[in-house]
Amino acid sequence: VRVKEREREREREKKRAKERERERERERVRGKGREREKERKRQRRNRRKKRQR
């Protein structure tokens, strides 16, 4: 019985590890998205400034 419990515990750990990895990936992708948004906003502002000149 104890052996089976240990096996289950290992499986749970593996699943948790996978979930953590996915979360990290999502966070990184989100960060990249934010950076891109900032860049776009900057470019828009620059375009407006150029038009005014």
Q: pLDDT above 90 covers what percent of the chain? A: 42
pLDDT at 17 over 70: yes
pLDDT at 29: 80
pLDDT at 15: 96
Tell me the mean pLDDT in the region 22-46.
86
Question: Residues 15, 20, 25, CA angle at the centre, nearest 5°?
Answer: 125
Q: pLDDT above 70 covers what percent of the chain? A: 98
Q: Where are the alpha helices (DSSP H) in the chain?
A: 2-52
Q: What is the largest CA-CA distance in the chain?
A: 79
| Distance of alpha carbon 53 from alpha carbon 49, whole angstroms | 6
